[in-house]
Amino acid sequence: MLKKVLINISVIGFCLIALSACNSTNINDPKEPAISKKWSTYTNKEYGFTIDYPKELNGESVVITQDKNVFKLQGKNPVGNEAEIPITIGTNIRYKKDIEKFIKNTYFEGCEVKDVLYTELNNGLVPVDIAGTDGNGECWINWITFVKFSPGYNKIVSIDLGQEPPFNEKVNGEIQSYNMEIVNSFKFTSSGTLHSDVVEYISKENKEAIDAYVKNVENTLETYSKCENTVFDLSTEGAQLLTYYDDNNLVKLDVVYYGETGKVEKEMYLKDNQVVHNNVINEHYNQPIYEQGDLQTEKVILDQQYFKNGKLAFWTKGGEIIDPSSEDFLEEANQLQKEFDNLHLSQLIEKNICEQIKE
């Protein structure tokens, strides 16, 4: 049964017209105005979202129909024809395979996920890039569409603006568009949890700020107090710890784990008593160290890891971005928390071990 409510709904997301992403001129033509008429905020408790909407469009009330998880925003365009924006919400979305299933069900069975742009997290939503095709393919999306994933609430939303954005109004003889004001106002609000309490998500701005902090630490490394220790119970051949303190604040921890077939070097950077960045260098030997012969490093793999609130948020392995919704990412996040415990990181943070050694 369809339910009607005087509201408007939309969702911010990734935009595709056929094979290419639409630019701002596609969706803001005519020009988007500042909100200049009476708007209201609708709250849907069933699916846990809010949306801002104009109460009227071209002299007609704005309404939305709901059929389960599918909504249709309805109004009148400047020439009196129906203006409609479909929106679909998906729940229990945790992994990339869940996102892809939602896209196939919402659009076409031949559609696939091209990318989930985690570093573009904004307003709690992550853009999803669909691998569209031309008219001869199995994912021919030749209209403006937005798809956004909410990792915090395990939900996803899609909204279609059509080939021509529908929510326009004639004001003082000129056409004004409200489409992107509607789109940008969408928020998921219901309580939810991340798929793990060891994983976080990070924006591009957060990542750039961490890069700047790491660069500053490296530039001032010689000004910090430094202590070196050997620990034999962290790996088969022991481990070397090198700590850097700015007064009593741990800012960097270098760890080298020695093994029979290689070694792992880690550079952990800390800010406000939490790890924010980790460089990992995996060196693999051509033979075990106990065998006779010329021992050489055969392969080197570099990982870069970014953290938010002390939890793994972004990870590249050998230059390849690891999907934060993947099982590999979750397993790595869990292993890192165990590693922090094994290193007694909380104790290293609480007291400058250089001072301990002096005592």
pLDDT of residue 357: 53
Task: Using a cut of 0.75, tell me whether the model's pTM lies above it.
Answer: no
Q: What is the pLDDT of residues 265-314, one digit of tens each?
A: 999 999 999 999 999 998 888 888 778 888 777 767 789 999 998 899 89
Tell me the mean pLDDT in the region 156-174. 89
Longest dimension (CA), the chain: 88
pLDDT of residue 65: 85
Q: What value does the mean pLDDT take over residues 248-268? A: 90
Task: In whole angstroms, give the CA distance from residue 119 to residue 310.
Answer: 17
Q: What does CATH list as the number for 3-188?
A: 3.40.1000
Tokens (6 digits) for 156: 């996803």
How does the average pLDDT of the chain come out, rounded? 81
- What is the rounded distance in angstroms from the CA atom of residue 9 to the CA atom of residue 26? 20
pLDDT value at residue 355: 59
What pLDDT is recorded for position 234? 62
Going by pLDDT thresholds of 50, 70 and 90, the confidence category of residue 14 is: very low
266 secondary structure, DSSP code: E
- Of 10-24, 288-302, 332-346, the poorest mean pLDDT is in 10-24
pLDDT of residue 237: 67
Q: Inform me whether the pLDDT recorded for 38 exceeds 80.
A: yes
The highest-confidence range among 206-210, 342-346, 354-358, by mean pLDDT, is 206-210
Residue 2: pLDDT over 60:
no
> With bands split at pLDDT 50, 70 and 90, how would you rate the model's confidence at 34?
very low
- pLDDT at residue 277, as a whole number: 97
Is residue 5 very low, low, confident or very high in pLDDT (cuts 50, 70, 90)? very low
The whole-angstrom separation of Cα 42 and Cα 84 is 17
pLDDT exceeds cutoff 50 at 27: no
Pairing of strands 297-308, 311-317: antiparallel
How far is it, in rounded angstroms, from Cα 116 to Cα 102? Answer: 13
Lowest mean pLDDT among 45-54, 139-148, 336-345, 348-357: 348-357
pLDDT of 8 above 80:
no
> According to the model, what pLDDT value does residue 233 have?
61
Residue 226 vs residues 100, 217, 256: alpha-carbon distances, Å: 49, 13, 16
List, for residues 183-231, the tens digit of each pLDDT value: 888 999 874 444 456 677 777 888 999 999 999 999 999 999 988 877 6
Q: Are 215 and 327 in contact (CB under 8 A)?
A: no
Candidates 266, 270, 267; CA nearest to 282 is 266
Task: Say if residues 336 and 310 touch (Cβ distance below 8 Å).
Answer: no
Domain boundaries, the chain: 3-188, 204-358
pLDDT in tens, 46-62: 888 888 888 899 989 99
Per-residue model confidence as pLDDT tens digits over 76-89: 989 889 999 888 99
Of 32-41, 118-127, 218-227, 302-311, give the lowest mean pLDDT range. Answer: 32-41
